């Protein structure tokens, strides 16, 4: 059996990318084929290279908002890596419908909220401000609409009375690192039923 090839897109520290890469060993049906960033300085690129994974970056800034032109460049290393599955892991650029449709049904994203709540940014602060009792993270299939698409897994936790956006983000991140690898393993074996944690 040949392994599914997984490309991972990042923008920053890449802690979710590391949790995915480190999970793809042994009898896991997938292996990493590329870590790609929109920022050559992203800390995650070093961590990927240390793990022997091919890396590439395409700086979005020279494209000055021309998403189609940026994505055309992003597609070059991505398509060359021939991924079966594309994982967005803290990738902070909005992708066009054209780009997303190329990977329809095989592109995943992790988002730090219990979707459909709190699409977009500042999710932890918004959950606290709303007085929510629970919060968490979601992995979903990527569709053209932002932070939308079928849910493939969620992890929930209680918001504590003294939580700040920072303390909450740190606790959610611990669950992200459990959820995303669990979803990727299940998804790459062809099973799309949601993973629910804890
Ligand atoms: C993670 O919390 C991820 O859920 C979030 O960015 C962080 C990246 O951390 N993603 C989004 O907000 C997507 N809109 P990491 O680089 O350490 O994985």
Average pLDDT over residues 18-26: 98
- Residue 1, pLDDT > 90, answer no
- Residue 7, pLDDT > 90, answer yes
pLDDT for res 57: 98
According to DSSP, the residues that pair with 32 across neighbouring strands are 6
Distance 110 CA to ligand 1 centre (A): 7
CA of 123, closest atom in ligand 1: 12
The residue to mutate among 89, 119, 175, having the most atoms of ligand 1 within 8 angstroms of its beta carbon, is: 89
pLDDT for res 189: 98
Angle (CA) 44-182-131 rounded to 5° is 85
CB 47 within 8 Å of CB 22: no
CA of 11, closest atom in ligand 1: 16
Q: What percent of the chain has pLDDT over 90?
A: 99
Rounded Cα distance, 183 and 198, in Å: 13
Closest CA to 173 of 7, 18, 11, 9: 18
Question: What CATH code is assigned to 109-198?
Answer: 3.40.50.170
Q: Does the beta carbon of 136 lie inside 6 Å of ligand 1? A: no
Rounded Cα distance, 89 and 109, in Å: 6
Average pLDDT over residues 63-83: 97
| Confidence grade of residue 180 (pLDDT, cut at 50, 70, 90) | very high
pTM for this prediction? 0.98
Distance 136 CA to ligand 1 centre (A): 12
Give yes or no on whether 1-103 and 109-198 have one common fold.
yes
Alpha carbon of residue 108 to chain centroid: 6
CA of 15, closest atom in ligand 1: 17
Among the listed residues 60, 111, 135, 177, the single catalytic one is: 111
111 is catalytic: yes
Q: Does the beta carbon of 13 lie inside 6 Å of ligand 1? A: yes
- Residue 9, pLDDT > 80, answer yes
Domains of the chain, residue spans: 1-103, 109-198
Rama region for 82: left / alpha / beta (φ>0; ψ in -120 to 50; rest) = left
CATH architecture of 1-103: 3-Layer(aba) Sandwich (3.40)
Distance 192 CA to ligand 1 centre (A): 22
Average pLDDT over residues 91-114: 97
Closest CA to 9 of 72, 85, 65, 69: 85
pLDDT for res 53: 98
- Residue 46, pLDDT > 80, answer yes
């Amino acid at each position: 059996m040949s392994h599914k090839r997984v490309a991972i897109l990042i923008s920053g520290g890449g802690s979710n990318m590391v949790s995915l890469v480190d999970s793809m060993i042994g009898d896991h049906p997938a292996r990493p084929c590329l870590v790609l960033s929109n920022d050559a300085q992203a800390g995650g690129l070093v961590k990927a290279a240390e793990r022997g994974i091919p890396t590439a970056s395409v700086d979005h800034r020279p494209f000055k908002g021309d998403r189609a032109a940026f994505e055309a460049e992003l597609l070059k290393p991505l398509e060359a890596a021939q991924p079966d599955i594309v994982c967005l892991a803290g990738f902070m650029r909005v992708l066009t419908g054209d780009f997303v449709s190329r990977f329809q049904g095989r592109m995943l994203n992790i988002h730090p909220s219990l979707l459909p709540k709190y699409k977009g940014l500042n999710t932890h602060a918004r959950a606290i401000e709303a007085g929510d009792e629970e919060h968490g993270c979601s992995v979903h299939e990527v569709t053209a609409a932002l932070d939308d698409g079928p849910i493939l897994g969620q992890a929930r936790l209680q918001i504590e009375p003294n939580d700040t956006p920072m303390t909450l983000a740190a606790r959610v991140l611990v669950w992200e690192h459990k959820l995303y690898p669990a979803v990727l393993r299940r998804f790459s074996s062809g099973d799309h039923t949601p993973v629910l944690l804890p």
